[in-house]
Structures are given as structure tokens and as C-alpha cells.
Amino acid sequence: MRNFKFILMFSIALLITSCEEEDDSYLDPYTEDPSGQDSGNNSGSTAWAKDYWKRDNAGTYLDLTSSRPVFCANGEIVGGTYSQVDWHSTNVGYFTLTNAGDVVNFEIRKNGNGLILAPYDPEVQQTHDPANYSVSSSFPCNGNDDGGNENETVAIKFWTNQDYNYGHISVSLNGVGSSQLSGYFSGGPNCNSTDYGGYFSGLDPGTYSYSASCQGYTWSGSVNLQASCTTFQLTL
């Protein structure tokens, strides 16, 4: 059976085959193996990436609106376990996609108004070039599950990284319910942690509106939930 990482490369058409000598100058001078990294402690201003992205001249999409990315190909979510994006600078981040024990590492790099997505895997780099993605106004897989399992659900964990001294924060997820944030995580929470509130689970994949408030401060917006669990930080 063909290795998962190569099946993934071809099935979602992320990268194009090349017979030329590879130019790996696009890679960050990053010597650590990003496999398994999921710190959740993203640093710098990475707001430019929080959007839907479509591969140029192809039907592959990447959702970066949440803390964990999601691929969409041929109208279906690409299944597996996605790590959070580990930002090593404001313009370069890494994430992993794991399926049946096989791990594919990816690098995201800002490129003008677009981004370059490349496999951070020396073996795959021998035959595949980086792919260019542009901002997309839509994500075809919104509301779809990952692999046709109608019982698949998702979760979200709201959190803060400090005590703002404004009392508990009341968080509401439209159509779901509300919860109180009673504490903070200095280094980011485990996504499925129920500590200090703010955890909603058993949700259908899709886009949800949220609102939060505490003593004169308010937050509101929407979040697209596709991965099994998403962390969402509230900041002032």
C-alpha cells in the first residue's frame, strides 16, 4: 500500500511534480523537526493568514480562520488530525496532518498578498515543489464532515492568557449555550480541557457566531469549526 504522505500529496493536489533540481531557498533556516509540535503559543502578528485560501489553478482549499488548519479537496474535508499552526515568525508557520499513524509536515510562508504552502519533508521535497495559494471568499467544505462520518462532532475551547481583573467572562456560542471563564492559562490550554469553563463540545462542523463580555468589555465574531477541537483566545 502506498505511503499515506504520498497519497495525500496526490489526492488533494497540493503540490506539482517537478523533474528539475529543487530550489529549497523558500524554506526557513529551521533545523528542528516540526513533527508533533502543537504549542498553541503563536507569537507576532499573524492576522494576515486568518482567511480561506485556494491553491492557484487548482481546486484545493485551506482554511486558516481557526487555530487548526483544515484542507478541502473535491468538496470534502481531508480527514486526519491537524495540529495548531506553530508560528516561528510573523510570516512563517508550521503544522502537521496525521492520519493512521502517518505524519505530513507543512510550512506556511507569506508571499506578498498570498502564501506558499510546502511539505516540510526532505523525501517529499525531492519530487514536489511549493504551491501558491490566494485568498478565497469561500470554503466549499463548510458544514461538511471529514470523511463522511455523520456522527463526527467538533469542539471549541475559549480562553485568555491573563487575569484582566474584570471578573468572570461570560461566553455565548449562538445556538449552543453559554459558559463562564473563571481563570486563565499562561501558556495556552489543552484543547479538550474543561478547566475554567469556555468549553463547548458535541457540535456539528460549521460556522458559529460567538459573543463574550465582562464589566464593560465585549467580544464578538464568528469562528469556523472543522477540526476535532479548536482553541480560541480572547484578547483585549
Maximum Cα–Cα distance across the chain:
61
Task: Indicate if 87 and 200 belong to the same structural domain.
Answer: no
For 111-126, what is each residue's pLDDT tens digit? 999 999 888 766 666 5
> Which of 102, 136, 170 corresponds to the end of one domain?
136
Task: Indicate if 189 and 112 belong to the same structural domain.
Answer: no
| Domain of residue 187, CATH code | 2.60.40
The grid coordinates listed for 175 are 445556538
Task: Indicate if 43 and 102 belong to the same structural domain.
Answer: yes
Contact 131, 117 (CB under 8 A): yes
Query: Stretch 135-141: mean pLDDT, rounded?
Result: 85
> With a threshold of 0.75, does the pTM exceed it?
no
Residue 80 lies in a domain: yes
Task: Indicate if 113 and 224 belong to the same structural domain.
Answer: no
For 65-114, what is each residue's pLDDT tens digit? 887 888 888 778 888 888 888 888 989 999 888 876 778 888 999 999 99
Task: Indicate if 34 and 123 belong to the same structural domain.
Answer: yes
For 164-213, what is each residue's pLDDT tens digit? 887 889 999 998 899 999 888 887 888 888 888 899 988 888 889 999 99
Q: Which domain holds residue 211?
A: 154-233
